[in-house]
Structure 1
């Protein structure tokens, strides 16, 4: 028997978009369920645990941010958020409640499938790395425990989303070294092109909000470096 198809829950209240996404994902070989509002999405995720959620921000009942928060409270699952506005505040809120990536409408189905596949690959890779994870990284006030996937700042546990954690580990393995956005996209998101550099910037902003603005240095036009502070 082959590997079971990944389960994807599509949550979008615009029925034409919802069905288009579902049809494309089914054609790509995924097992798909669809919902159109917040409460139904949370109920389906509990009864039929998905491997990934494609989630619209604006939904009836309660919005995608609340769906993401409730689903993530049960179990970690990658979430690709769909937003009608390329608004930095909306994006940061989504990342803060556990979304791993986002797409701004209108988007191409090819791009959506590429993002979905990259997220699923990253989950598999993270699981493999966790099994063989080396000792924790101690970086001044910051401690990164790769085996437990936990971060502490001055001894206090910091809640990071799976993507934020992977991004921090990537920066922490080479502290002080500037990594380009393209390198980070390749290592963290498993993307081979530079189309998502704004995704990197958004996640960096969210990460800074949790570990301190001074912890990650920006090198304009190049990328980012983790600064070790005592």
Structure 2
């Protein structure tokens, strides 16, 4: 699936150059030339990354970012000819933001966008591989055509193990991700949690393995 980028730049020739360059490089791009239209496109298009000029008609870049921040943490790159420190601080203070100062080359644009998507992907964390038995979003196990509900912590345990599939998760890592606190009580709680989760996995190819003295891993014997 193509990564989605929204450009808002009131210098139309410059905006079209960016639009064509990013489209050619495989991105799904929308372009507009004012802040009001950019906000409308943001709601409809749901971009992963926004590039917009600070000095736009109707709604300027900083105010547009403030409006968007009320409902979204979408990554933003400000495009500006402003070089004063106060403007930079204003933009960066809105969170998940970067700056491109005019004039800049297309190579720099490409590098900044690649960096932005690296940050976006890092914030999402590792994905859980899809399988026919563990349904993370539904918080359940599918077995014999039936859905077996998981508790919140059972779901967290399986999520951690599947995020690290084919690896060993240490006891400490699992405890911190489930309870946020590594103490002796939670070590005992983990033993109980693993036992209960294993019972729900019976009848499926999913097996929680205990690597003594190290941690746990999940395997599928299908």
The TM-score normalised by the length of structure 1 is 0.54
1:63 to 2:60 alignment: yes
Q: CA deviation at 1:129?
A: 6.2
Look up the SS of the partner of 1:116 in the other structure. helix
- How far 1:99 moved relative to its partner? 4.8
Tell me which residue corresponds to 1:80.
77
Identify the residue that residue 46 of structure 1 maps to in structure 2: 43
Give the match for residue 26 of structure 2. Answer: 29
2-side partners of 1:108 and 1:52: how far apart?
Answer: 19
Write the deviation string for residues 165-218 of structure 1: whole angstroms up to 9, x where unpaired.
Answer: xxxxxxxxxxxxxxxxxxxxxxxxxxxxxxxxxxxxxxxxxxxxxxxxxxxxxx
**For residues 27-63 of structure 1, what are the alpha-carbon distances to aligned partners after superposition, in whole Å with 9 as ceiling and x for unaligned?**
1100000111111111110011001001110000121
Q: What per-residue deviation string (whole Å, max 9, x for no partner) do you get for residues 89-140 of structure 1? A: 1111111223521011000111011101111111111211698685669xxx
After the TM superposition, which of the residue ranges 120-129 and 37-46 deviates more from structure 2? 120-129
Matched, 1:103 2:100: yes
Looking at structure 1, the residues matched to 9 and 95 of structure 2 have their Cα atoms a distance apart, in angstroms, of: 18
CA contact (8 A) 1:78 1:119 kept: yes
1:67 offset after TM fit, Å? 1.1
Distance 2:39 2:53 in 1: 13
The answer to whether the 8 A contact 1:68-1:98 is kept is no
Q: Aligned-pair RMSD on alpha carbons?
A: 2.1
Aligned to 1:15: 12
Q: Which has the higher contact order (CA 8 A, sep 6+)?
A: 1
**Whole-Å separation in 2 of the counterparts to 1:67 and 1:117:** 23
Unaligned runs of 5+ in 2: 128-158, 161-172, 182-222
Q: Is the radius of gyration larger for structure 1 or structure 2?
A: 2
Work out the CA distance in 2 between the residues paired with 1:99 and 1:80. Answer: 9
Corresponding residue for residue 118 of structure 1: 115
Within 5 A, what are the aligned runs for 1:195-214? Answer: none
Q: Which secondary structure state, in structure 1, belongs to the residue aligned with residue 51 of structure 2?
A: strand
SS at match of 1:73: coil
**Cα distance change on mapping 1:37 and 1:73 into 2, 3 Å:** same
Runs of 4+ aligned structure 1 residues displaced above 6 Å come to none
